[in-house]
Amino acid sequence: MPSSPDEAVLDRVANPHPDVDLVVRFTCPEFTSLCPVTGQPDFAHLVIDYIPDRWLVESKSLKLFFVSFRSHGAFHEDCTVRIGKRLVERLAPRWLRIGGYWYPRGGMPIDVFWQTGTAPPHVWVPDQDVQPYRGRG
C-alpha cells in the first residue's frame, strides 16, 4: 500500500487497439482524502474518461493510487487535477478529463473539472451523469 500519492506507482499496459479512438471510463464513488486544514476526511465521486493512445492504466495500480490519498492532505482542486495530470504524464492519452464531485464540507459542495483539451468530434463521450449535490433542496 503506497503511503502517499507521490510514492504510488501507476502501472500501464499496452493498448491492444491503438488504431481505435475508444473511451475508457473509471468511476471511483468513494474517493477519500484529508482536509489539509482540519485533517478531517473529505469524500468525492470521481469520474475519469480518457482516450488511450499506446497505453492503458492498469486498474489495480489505479485503485492503489486512489487509496494513497486517504492519508494525504490536499484541497479538492489539488487532488482532482493532480490525479488527471499524473495519468496524462504516465499514459500520454489522446484526451483525458476528470470530474471530481466532492461531498459538502462546511455545507458547500465543491466540484472540480479538468481536461486536456477537446475530445475528437467523431468520438462518443457520454455525460458523466453525476447529479449535483442538492441537500434538502
Residues 79-129 pLDDT 10s:
999 999 999 999 999 999 999 999 998 788 899 999 999 999 999 999 999
pTM for the model: 0.94
Beta bridge partners of 30: none
Closest CA to 94 of 122, 120, 114, 113: 120
- 105 vs 99: CA distance, rounded Å: 17
pLDDT (0 to 100) of residue 136? 61
DSSP one-letter code for 5? T
Residue 2 banded pLDDT, cuts 50, 70, 90: very high
Which sequence positions are flagged as catalytic?
35, 42
Closest CA to 25 of 43, 5, 51: 51
Dihedral sign for Cα atoms in the order 17, 14, 5, 84: negative
The domains of the chain are located at 12-115
Residue 137 banded pLDDT, cuts 50, 70, 90: low
According to CATH, the topology of domain 12-115 is GTP Cyclohydrolase I, domain 2 (3.30.1130)
